[in-house]
Structure 1
Amino acid sequence: MFEVYITKAGKYLPNEAVSNDEMESFLGMINNTASKARRIILRNNGILSRYYALDKSGNPTHTNAELTNKAIEELYDAAFSAKNVALLSCGTSTPDHLLPSHAAMVHGLMRNQSVELNSSSGVCNAGMNALKFGYLSVKAGNTPNAVCTGSERVSTWMKSEKYENEISNLKNLEEQPIIAFKKDFLRWMLSDGAAAFLLENKPKGENPLRIEWMEAFSYAYELEACMYAGGDKLENGDIKPWSDYESEEWLTKSVFSIKQDVKILDQHILEKGALSMKAALDKNNIKPEDITYFLPHVSSHYFVEGLRKSLVEKEIGIPAEKWFMNLKHVGNVGSASIYLMLEELMNSGKLRKGDNVLLSVPESGRFSYSYAYLTVC
């Protein structure tokens, strides 16, 4: 087995940062009505700016694959180019197509040579799953390196026009609360971007990070789906798939919109997060005092204090000064968020040899969690 190091990180955030007051001009107003939920949601999530792969007229400027490829290009230098990539492992919640796979579309833009591909789907853990595939490949000696990515281009999913048919027969949004909250809610939470890691079997660069371990947990066996798209939830909690709807219903029911069951989210997201994190730390004999930097992906600052309390209750509380987050100025970029956080920390000048970094990623899709423990070498 080989040691595995994150030797370089790159990112790509499209266009200019979008402020809270500008969001609706990019995404549009549903039924020509300003969102009543927007200000409340933004006040709770604490996000001040984010990025969209849209111009000011709402036209797409990049595909998800293009965002990803641009982040990968940030990894190249005189010693490493696209021709040196052995494995490409890409995670996203919002691929450009149902098929071919996201990784295949990114590889098509790289125009390098034949490489092994892996595409990870899901929600926020798609990026961590892509990272774990690359980690295991390099560790086993299957490949000498791996380029792993997390990316999202969700803005085009959230444009107001995607909801117009569903509300065309309604006088106002209040007649259909699911539009005003269940679907409108996520329009003010999510944004676009991509980031990439280069994994190698030898330490290189200024502050290479050795991946000590990665752990993952799923609670789908006992909990129903919370965040979903491409279907709709039935009364019994099952999700009816998009292909079982009549084609006209795809629009009238906004079947492809991203939805979240917030009641289930509040009930389980923190409890299962603390439970799984304790299990990961206990399994690997890590104490909170061993952690130099804690990078938690949270969808909203609304959850930060609750997460702190939940960790304390499990006796794995981490002091606030050890938390490193960039949600306020980067936004919630789903599977790319943890990559963007670590990229910023790696390039911040804060890291010192011997520091330990814990990555924590929850996914509300059907409640799964991923962790990675890194050491600065």
Structure 2
Amino acid sequence: MKDVYITRTSKFLPNDPVDNEEMEERLGIVNGKTSKARRVVLRNNQIKTRYYALNDKGEITHNNAQLTKEAIQLLCDEGFTVENIQLLSCGTGSPDQILPSHAAMVHGFLKNGNLEINSPSGACCSGMNALKYGYLAIKSGQNTNAVCTGSERASSWMKSNIFENEIEHLKKLEETPILAFNKDFLRWMLSDGAGAFLLEDQPNGDIPLKIEWMEGYSYAGEIEACMYAGGDKLDTGLLKSWSEYPSEQWAQKSLFAIKQDVKLLAENILVKGVDSLKKTLEKHNVKPEDITYYLPHISSYYFKENLYQEMKNNDIEIPWENWFMNLKKVGNIGAASIYIMLEELVTSGNLKKGDKILLSVPESARFSYTYAYLTVC
């Protein structure tokens, strides 16, 4: 089995950063009234700026595949071009279409000859699953390099026009035309962007990072869906697919909007996260004091203190000074967040040989967790 190294990192954040007061102008106002949930959600998540693939008129500037293509091109130079890529593995929770796959669309924009592609589906963990596919392909000797990506273009799913038909339908029924909190909540949480890693079987580059191991856990066998799109949640907890509804109800129910069961999130995301973290550290005999940098993807600073306390309760406390986060500046970019976080750490100039980095990514869709442990070479 070969060693695997992250030898290059890149990110692409579209347009200018958008502050909290500009958000609703970019995404649009629903039913002519500003959101009552916006300030509460922003106060809790503490995000100050984020990026949208929308211009100041709310017009789309990039689709998801284009964002990903831009990040990949930023990996490349004369020493490594897009034509040198052997494997393209692209994860996202917000693909531009159901078919073709996200990686196929990215490959279409790259136009770099024939190569293997892989498109993990899901939410935040899809970016890490894309990384694991590339990691295993190189480790097994099938490839000597792979480009792995995480990306999101959630803004187009959150624009006000997505909810216009639902609001009009409620008016006709003489019901209060207000957007449900499980939909409005995520409008103030999610951002756009893409990150990319080049993986190789040799420690090339200025700061190569050896991938020691990767682990994943799912709790879907215990817990119902929490974050979802393309369907609606029944009282039984089951999801009913968009394909089982008459087409006129797709817009009336905003079936393609991203929704979140906030109560279910609060009850499970930290408990299961620390449970899976403890499992993976014990499996690989890693102690908290071994970790130089802990990179947790969290959706909101609301969870930070409680996550630390839960870790402390389970005797796996990682000291605050070892945490590295950039949520306040770039927002929650789902599958891309961990890529962009690591890229910022790598380019910070603070890493030194022998440092250990733990990547930690939760996914609230149905409570999955993925981890990667890296050594600076």
TM-score (norm 1): 0.98
Give deviations 1:214-273, integer Å, cap 9, x for gaps: 000000001000000000000110000010000000000000000000110000000000
SS across alignment from 2:318: coil
Opposite residue 287 of structure 1, the aligned amino acid is K
Q: Which residue of 2 aligns with 1:374?
A: 374
Q: Which residue of 2 aligns with 1:87?
A: 87
SS across alignment from 1:168: helix
Kept after mapping to 1: 8 A contact 2:31/2:177: no
Opposite residue 357 of structure 1, the aligned amino acid is I
Q: Partners of 1:348 and 1:374 in 2: how far apart?
A: 17
In structure 2, stretches of 5+ residues that fail to align are: none
Q: Which residue of 2 aligns with 1:175?
A: 176
Opposite residue 232 of structure 2, the aligned amino acid is D
Opposite residue 363 of structure 2, the aligned amino acid is E
Opposite residue 24 of structure 1, the aligned amino acid is E
SS across alignment from 1:276: helix
Matches within 5 A, 1:233-248: 233-248=233-248
The Cα of 1:180 is off from its aligned counterpart by: 3.7
Kept after mapping to 1: 8 A contact 2:218/2:369: yes
The Cα of 1:78 is off from its aligned counterpart by: 1.9
The Cα of 1:24 is off from its aligned counterpart by: 0.6
Q: Structure 1's 169 and 84: CA in aligned 2 closer, same or farther, altered over 3 A?
A: closer
Matches within 5 A, 1:185-224: 185-224=185-224
Q: Which residue of 2 aligns with 1:6?
A: 6
SS across alignment from 1:90: strand
Opposite residue 266 of structure 1, the aligned amino acid is A
Give aligned-pair identity as a percent: 62
Kept after mapping to 2: 8 A contact 1:174/1:180: no
The Cα of 1:82 is off from its aligned counterpart by: 0.7
In structure 1, stretches of 5+ residues that fail to align are: none
Matches within 5 A, 1:1-377: 1-170=1-170, 175=176, 179-377=179-377
Kept after mapping to 2: 8 A contact 1:223/1:367: yes
Kept after mapping to 2: 8 A contact 1:68/1:195: yes
Q: Partners of 1:140 and 1:217 in 2: how far apart?
A: 22
Opposite residue 200 of structure 2, the aligned amino acid is E
Q: Partners of 2:175 and 2:319 in 1: how far apart?
A: 42
Q: Structure 1's 344 and 174: CA in aligned 2 closer, same or farther, altered over 3 A?
A: farther
Kept after mapping to 2: 8 A contact 1:35/1:180: no
Kept after mapping to 2: 8 A contact 1:18/1:52: yes
Opposite residue 73 of structure 1, the aligned amino acid is Q
Give deviations 1:297-343, integer Å, cap 9, x for gaps: 00000000010011111111011010000000000000000000000
Q: Partners of 1:271 and 1:169 in 2: how far apart?
A: 39
Opposite residue 261 of structure 1, the aligned amino acid is D
Aligned residues: 376
The Cα of 1:175 is off from its aligned counterpart by: 3.0
Kept after mapping to 2: 8 A contact 1:131/1:148: yes
Q: Partners of 2:238 and 2:259 in 1: how far apart?
A: 14
Opposite residue 161 of structure 1, the aligned amino acid is N
SS across alignment from 1:223: coil
Q: Partners of 1:107 and 1:144 in 2: how far apart?
A: 19
Q: Partners of 1:174 and 1:350 in 2: how far apart?
A: 56
SS across alignment from 1:266: helix
After superposition, the CA RMSD in angstroms is 1.3
The Cα of 1:170 is off from its aligned counterpart by: 3.9
The Cα of 1:171 is off from its aligned counterpart by: 5.7
Opposite residue 69 of structure 1, the aligned amino acid is K
Q: Partners of 2:329 and 2:128 in 1: how far apart?
A: 22
Opposite residue 244 of structure 2, the aligned amino acid is D
Q: Partners of 2:276 and 2:39 in 1: how far apart?
A: 33
Q: Partners of 1:67 and 1:174 in 2: how far apart?
A: 40
Q: Partners of 1:56 and 1:348 in 2: how far apart?
A: 30
TM-score (norm 2): 0.98
Q: Partners of 1:338 and 1:165 in 2: how far apart?
A: 35
Q: Partners of 2:253 and 2:198 in 1: how far apart?
A: 41
SS across alignment from 2:375: strand
The Cα of 1:205 is off from its aligned counterpart by: 1.2
Kept after mapping to 2: 8 A contact 1:12/1:71: yes
The Cα of 1:176 is off from its aligned counterpart by: 6.0
Q: Partners of 2:115 and 2:11 in 1: how far apart?
A: 21
